[in-house]
Amino acid sequence: MKQTALLNLLIGAFIVETGFFLIENGTSTKSGMAWRIGFFILTPLALSVLIWLRFRWAAMACVIYATVGLALNIATIIQVVTKDSEVGVALIANVISGLFNFFLIVFGGRSFLDVGPVPMPLEPRPPNPPSPS
């Protein structure tokens, strides 16, 4: 899969995740809403932009962030499924968020491992001929 196709998948999942995040939490200005938007929406977006700008440290930070997020999504999905109440929007939001975190792991991992072609060594210069004396 090309890096551009992976970036398009990541952006698409980001847009859908943002929509489900706003549907699930509402657009009201609660006290912790700014923190949640910053951590769950702006942080992965900033990391993705830094990876796109080819900062290698951002790729590893992105993989770490998304791995923890994916683990939390899986735990939340299991908790929602095993509860007896309705599973509607919460399950869909966590599945979309899990897919987003998975794509973030793949995007960051591929960027971290992509070291590019190795430059060819320069040709050695021929020795100087002896000077006529």
What tens digit of pLDDT does each residue of 83-100 get?
Answer: 866 677 778 778 888 888
| Count of all residues that appear for the chain in the document | 133
Q: Has residue 36 been placed in a domain? A: yes
131 found inside a domain:
no
Residue 111 has pLDDT above 70, yes or no: yes
| DSSP 8-state assignment for residue 53 | T
Q: Looking at the domain assignment, is residue 72 inside a domain?
A: yes
125: pLDDT strictly greater than 70 = yes
Give percent of the chain with pLDDT exceeding 90.
Answer: 8
Specify the pLDDT at position 71: 93
**133 domain residue, yes or no:** no
**pLDDT for the residue numbered 19:** 76
- Decide if 127 is inside a domain: no
What is the pTM for the complete model shown? 0.69
Tokens at residue 88, please?
Answer: 């509607």
Calculate mean pLDDT across residues 34-59: 79
Q: Is the pLDDT of residue 38 over 60?
A: yes
Return the pLDDT at 39.
78
Q: Which domain holds residue 43?
A: 3-113
CA distances to 45, 51, 99 from 16, rounded to whole Å, are 13, 21, 10
Residue 128 placed within a domain: no
Q: Which residue has the higher pLDDT, 26 or 111?
A: 111
Lowest mean pLDDT among 3-12, 60-69, 71-80, 88-97: 3-12
Q: Is residue 98 part of a domain?
A: yes
* Residue 106 within a domain: yes
Number of domains in the chain: 1
* Helical pair 88-113 and 56-82, crossing angle rounded to 10 deg: 160
Question: Measured between alpha carbons, how far is 80 from 97 in angstroms, rounded to an integer?
Answer: 14
